[in-house]
Amino acid sequence: MEFLTMSTQVQELRGRLLTFMSEHVYPNEQRFYLEAERNGPWVVNTVTEELKPIARAARLWNLFLPDPEYGAGLNNLDYAPLCEIMGRSLLAPEVFNCSAPDTGNMETLHRYGSEAQKKHWLVPLLRGEIRSSFAMTEPEVASSDATNIATTIKREGDDYVINGRKWYTTGATDPRCQILIVMGKTNPNAANRHEQQSMILVPKATSGVKVVRALPVLGYYAVPDRAAEVWLDDVRVPVENILLGEGRGFEIAQGRLGPGRIHHCMRLIGLAERVLERMCRRTTLRVSFGRALADQTVTLERIAEARIEIEQARLLTLKAAWMMDHVGNKQARQEIAMIKVAAPLMAQKIIDWAIQAFGGGGTNDDHFLGAAFATARLLRLADGPDEVHRNQIGRLELKRYEGTDPAKTGGTAAVLSRSEALYVGANNRWPAVGSGAVSPGDST
C-alpha cells in the first residue's frame, strides 16, 4: 500500500537515529533514572543536557516539526517510524528536542504566534535552551470538558489580568521552563461556549505565578512527568501576549492536539516494542521449576498477543498519520481518537505482562518497567480521557449512517467504511460522509 513506503530521507534518518540510540541513549538510561530519583522534579538532570548538543550536532533535532525552515520538513507519516524509535526510551524524546509538552507548544507558537512571540519564545524552544508548559486543566472543574475551564483573563488597559488554579501542568517544576501557555476565559458571556476561551502566553517569572507543588504520577516524580500545581494570582501580562485573538482558544486547542496525540501513540508503540523485546529475552534466560519462563504456555500466549496488538496499533497509527497528511487533522479526527484510545491501552497491557514476567524487579526502574507503566497509564488521561475519545468516535460513527438506510433512500445513499475509504484516499480524493458505493440489503 502506498501509505507504507518510507522515503530515502526517512530511511537515512532512521539509520542514524538507531545508531544514536545505541551509542548515547541506552548506555545512559540507568544514570537517567538514578538522577531523576535522586534529584526529583525541581532539578535539571545532567544526562539530558549532556546529550542534547550531541543530538543537535548530529542533526537529529526538532524532527517533529513539518516546517523545513524550523524543523526537518517531515510529514506525520515520515515522522512516525522516527518518533517510534525515540519512544523506546523515556530519556530519548527530550534529547532530540521532541518531547511533550514542548513539541505541542512549539507547534502552537509556530502556527498561531505573532512574529514577536515566535522570536521571543519559539526560537529558544527550538534551540532547546528553554522549556515550556501548557496550563489548561484545573482542580476545581471537570477539565475533560474544556468549556468548564474557569480561569479568568480580564482586560485592564494594555494588560490582561489572569486569576486561576491549574494542575497537572507538565514541566512547570523544571527550572528551564520559562513560558506557560495558559487557557482561560476572556469572553465568559459569549453565546457560543467554544468562543469563551483564549490562550495567552505567561512568562513563568511573572509576579503572581506560583508553582506550589510537584505532583506525583502513580508515585513517580519527574519521570515520566514533571506534573505540577500552578496558581495564577493577579498575573498581569501585556495584551500582545494573547495568542491569535480573544475567544480563539478552542481553535488553537484543536490545531495543537491532533499532532500531540498521535506523537504520544507513536512513542507508545516504540515503548511497547522495547518492552516486548526485553520480555522475550528475560523469559528465555530465566528458569523456574526446571524450565525457561518462555516455555510456559502463558508466556507464549502473552508474547503472541503483544505482537498482535502492537502490529494493530502501528497500522492504525500509520493510517491516522497518513490521513492527517492527506486530508487534514479534522477529517482524521476519528482515527486520531481511535488510536489515542488503542495505543495507551495496548502499551499498558503489554507492560503489565512484562512486569509480571520480570517478577519483583519489574516494579522498579532497573528494567524501566515501573516508569513505562506510569507513562502508558497516564496517557489514558492526558490529552483527554479514553471515554471522551470513545464518545467522539461513537458520535462520528452514528453521524456517518444518518440518512443512509437503503430501505428509505432506494439504495442510492451509501457509506464507505473507514478502511475502504483509505483506498479512495490513495488517489488524494476523499469521499464525503455518506457517499460512495452502496451495499443493498444493509438496511436495519
Residue 222 interacts with ligand FAD (CB under 6 A): yes or no: no
Among 97, 99, 105, 137, binds ligand FAD (CB under 6 A): 137
Does residue 134 bind ligand FAD (CB under 6 A)?
yes
Q: How far is CA 251 from CA 101, 147, 179, 221, 238, in A?
A: 18, 12, 20, 32, 22
Q: Which stretch binds ligand FAD (CB under 6 A): 131-139, 173-181, 288-296, 309-317?
A: 131-139
Size of site (CB under 6 A) for ligand FAD: 23
Compute the distance between CA of residue 62 and CA of residue 165 in angstroms, rounded to an integer: 32
| Least gap, CB of 109 to ligand FAD (angstroms) | 16
- Interaction of residue 142 with ligand FAD, rule CB under 6 A: yes
- CA-based angle 264:137:235, to the nearest 5? 125
**CB closer to ligand FAD out of 256 and 367:** 256
Contact window for ligand FAD (CB under 6 A) among 156-164, 165-173, 337-345, 425-433: 165-173
- Provide the grid cell at 47: 544526562
CB 230 within 8 A of CB 166: yes
Contact 82, 17 (CB under 8 A): yes
220 makes contact with ligand FAD (CB under 6 A): no
Which of residues 81 and 87 has its CB atom nearest to ligand FAD in the complex? 87
DSSP bridge pairs for 229? 213
Of the candidate spans 25-33, 140-148, 403-411, 431-439, the one that interacts with ligand FAD by CB under 6 A turns out to be: 140-148
When binding is defined by CB under 6 A, the residue of 201, 382, 415, 422 that contacts ligand FAD is 382
Min. distance of Cβ 378 from ligand FAD in angstroms?
4
* CB of residue 103 to ligand FAD, shortest distance in Å: 12
* Residue 99 lies near ligand FAD (rule: CB under 6 A): no
Binding-site member from 378, 415, 421, 422 for ligand FAD (CB under 6 A): 378
Q: Minimum distance between the CB of residue 382 and ligand FAD, rounded to whole angstroms?
A: 4
Residue from 385, 406, 431, 434 binding ligand FAD (CB under 6 A): 385
Instruction: Please tell me whether residue 435 binds ligand FAD under the rule CB under 6 A.
Output: no
Q: Which residue has the cell 469563551?
A: 196
Region of 152-160, 276-284, 347-355, 379-387 interacting with ligand FAD (CB under 6 A)? 379-387
- Give the nearer residue to ligand FAD in terms of CB position, either 65 or 100: 100
| Cβ-contact 43, 27 below 8 angstroms | no
Residue 301 interacts with ligand FAD (CB under 6 A): yes or no = no
147 touches ligand FAD by CB under 6 A:
no
User: Residue 101, interface with ligand FAD (CB under 6 A)?
Assistant: yes
The binding track of 347-376 with respect to ligand FAD, each residue x by CB under 6 A or -, is: ------------------------------
| Minimum CB–partner distance for residue 412 and ligand FAD (Å) | 35
Is position 58 an interface residue for ligand FAD (rule: CB under 6 A)? no
Distant-in-sequence, close-in-space partners of 405: CB < 8 Å, separation ≥ 6:
413, 443, 444
Smallest gap, in angstroms, from Cβ of residue 85 to ligand FAD? Answer: 23
Residue 81: asked if its preceding bond is cis (omega within 30°), the reply is no
Q: Where does this chain bind ligand FAD (CB under 6 A)?
A: 101, 134-137, 142-144, 168-170, 217, 225, 227, 378, 381-385, 387-388, 391
